[in-house]
Structure 1
Amino acid sequence: MITVRDPHPWPATETEAEALQRRLRPRVRFDGVPEEVRYAAGLDVDYREDSDELVAAVTVLDLADLSVVDSAVVRDRPRFPYVPGLFAFREAPPLLDALQRLTIDPDVLVCDGQGLAHPRRFGLACHLGVLTDLPSIGVGKTPMGHYDPPGQNRGDWTPLHMDDDEVGRALRTRTGVKPVFVSVGHRYTLQAACDLVLTLTPTYRLPETTRTADHLGRQAE
């Protein structure tokens, strides 16, 4: 069962939230890959257009055939305002709740968002990885930083930079289709993160982890 290793009070202000990110940031590890990666969890949050509700959805996929073998959904309301760079304080609490409802423990968390590619180098994938001590990566649909377009072939990539730091990669998962943006969250290398994303994208631009979690969240009653 997934547990929160270092629970903390969720801040109420932007200043407190930024201070917490800075305090937790040194705990992120950027080395290593699990000895065996069989189960990958996709994490996504859907915001209802007709209410102030959100739905946090987690799916667990078996990498052997990318089938969904476990899932969990949590309905909640945002506990923090919409502030760029502080999305984790809206999304992490219900996602942690959903993770703790799983019956199969994933080997890696694949977040629909950022990891190191973040103004304080502590995006959602880092935050969840540190709190659970699970390997984690971020796969964003839009860049946080600047990059040169990668080649047009599947697997081509270029570095993603912020303030002269390399914080991730623009990775082409489908030939001729715009790239996704991969960054390390916790206990993963960037190369291994990109390899995993390519495994998770046999047909579409976005990883199957993201696609299945997104579908689950949208369909939840």
Structure 2
Amino acid sequence: MSLYHFFPIDSMEGYAWYMIFAPVLLLVVDWYGGKYIKELKPYYFWLAHITLIGIMLFLCIDSIFNHSIHPVILFIALAIYLYSAFVKKKEWQIKLLLFAAMSMIPWLIMMHILYYNIISQLPIEYAAIIASILFFSVWWFAPSVWKKRMEWYMIPFIHVNLLITVMTLSIETVFTIIILIGWMVLSFYLLHVRNWLLFSLVPVTASIIMWIRQEWIKNGSLKQIISWL
């Protein structure tokens, strides 16, 4: 049974699936052909990634307007970036490809939220929170050299999205407050590990904004609980 049976070329999703395997094929040629003609090796590698950027733009447009392509397709792009980061030798190339792979994580989560239309149950801001937890989980078990590489992306990502989230997310429940406080504690911990304590102003500012905006206190629930105690 052919691939065409599952992904007919006349559908948007089928077209996307055919396109996503183009960079995979180029990387296979890079890996196999590069053994014999080393001069061609970098050309196939970077052509694969230029092609992948075009495909990512196509998927981004679909995720914004149509949501017709299943987000699982992005796992292939994630695998391409991870593979590429592991095979490269130059530090700037490793970091570039690693950061591209890490950028796929929040995008994957957001695309799933939009595709399944669960934004009322899981606000889009939670994509950054979930991504931060996943980053931290991988970081915790990663070798020291990969920890340092991840930190250059993970720490700015957490702090920028922390500020955005406390300004946009509806803070109405105790659960939301606990999640945000835990996120702030995580940011403080990473700043301490990296010794970037100057940037601790960011989670402090976020906590002040959260305290001002939280509707849980405004609607008197906290006062009611205190009165019960």
The TM tier, using the shorter chain, reads under 0.3
Higher strand proportion (structure 1 or 2): 1
TM-score by length of 1: 0.22
Higher helix proportion (structure 1 or 2): 2
Q: Which has more radius of gyration?
A: 2
Query: Bigger relative contact order, structure 1 or 2, given CA contacts below 8 A and separation 6+?
Result: 1
